[in-house]
Amino acid sequence: MTALEPSTILSVEDSDEDFFSLCAALEGLGVANPVERCADSRIARAMLETDEGCAKAREAAIILLDLNMPGVSGHELLSLFRRRGEDKPVVVLTTSSSQNDIDFCTKAGANDYVVKPLEFDRWQEAIGELIEKWLPGASPPYRAES
């Protein structure tokens, strides 16, 4: 795999449906930044355990991290990434609205925590807000259409 471009969005997401929804929301917002996917949590952990793999995550502009994945949880991946001293923006995208999960992720160093909405228009709005907040150089400028 080649190094990620500085404007790349890295998605650690095991659900095909959620990943495709993310890509559709970004496309609908006019965000042209490339999206790199790590669909397997075990591969993501292995990536973060090596200097080379962690460098690839470091080169992404933002990391979007699913919390509930089989094998290795997003909790573990977030903790591992932060233990390595990485300060890249990490946004947790999850179905969990559990206060315990929110508290854990906040303490572990997540920059933001977004509960995945069920309706696509709300999902696109949530993605737009997080891109505007954490990736202000997203290209081209965009706004969700009302």
**Residues 100-144 pLDDT 10s:** 999 999 999 999 999 999 898 899 999 999 988 988 766 544 444
Q: Does 142 fall in a domain?
A: no
pLDDT tens digits for 66-89? 999 888 889 999 998 888 777 789
- What whole-number distance in Å separates Cα of residue 66 and Cα of residue 1? 22
- What whole-number distance in Å separates Cα of residue 31 and Cα of residue 51? 30
CATH number at residue 19: 3.40.50.2300
Task: For 2, list phi and psi in degrees, rounded to 5.
Answer: -85, 165
pLDDT tens digits for 10-69? 899 999 999 999 999 999 988 888 898 988 888 888 877 776 666 667 778 889 999 998
**Residue 85 token pair:** 């001293």
Q: Does 129 fall in a domain?
A: yes
Q: Please state the domain count of the chain.
A: 1
Q: Does 3 fall in a domain?
A: no
Q: Does 140 fall in a domain?
A: no
Find out whether 33 and 139 touch, Cβ atoms under 8 Å. Answer: yes
Q: Does 1 fall in a domain?
A: no
Instruction: Provide the domain limits for residue 16.
Output: 9-134
